Amino acid sequence: MTTEQIHLDLEELKRMGVAEARDLLQNLVAKEPTTDDEDKITIIQELKLPGDVSIDMLYQLVDYKYLEFADDVKVGMFLKWIPLKKPDEIRMKHGAVVCKIRETEDDEVYIVCRLLKRVGGRTVFFELNFDENLLFFKRY
């Protein structure tokens, strides 16, 4: 089955079993599952979220790659992220561009980002702590 032949409906994905949905998502991005796809699946499964939430997250990450190391973050990357600080409120965040990478004296890495949408007519900048978030960047 080629990528062009696959038609995805989010509701249909939610009704599928996790294994079946995983296989379908893997087929979307490559003929053979790649290490990147397997990494994303493993990471999302480790969050122990309900099946439909996990499948929805995987669906949102089809064109994204997991950022395992802070050194891999580059200015200009388009990110989606999952904050880990509040385990009861884990959900996908998205829509930011990396503007700057800042390292503190105690070796923490902060990523300065800009939202693509303006809020109240203003450009919004914020920081993400690399160690407190799962980061994914858009593959071009």
**What pLDDT, in 10s, does the model give residues 44-83?**
999 998 888 999 999 899 889 999 999 999 999 999 999 9
- Is pLDDT above 80 for 12? no
Q: Taking residues 4-33, report their average pLDDT.
A: 58
Close Cβ partners of 76 (under 8 Å, ≥ 6 residues apart):
97, 98
- pLDDT band of residue 8 (cuts 50, 70, 90) is low
pLDDT at 88: 84
Alpha-carbon distance of 28 to 5, in angstroms, equals: 9
Sequence ranges of the domains in the chain = 3-62, 66-138
Alpha-carbon distance of 86 to 93, in angstroms, equals: 13
Phi/psi at 48 (5° precision) = 55, 50
Q: Taking residues 94-119, report their average pLDDT.
A: 94
HSE-up (13 A, CA, CB side) for residue 63:
8
pLDDT at 140: 73
Beta carbons of 76 and 97 less than 8 angstroms apart: yes
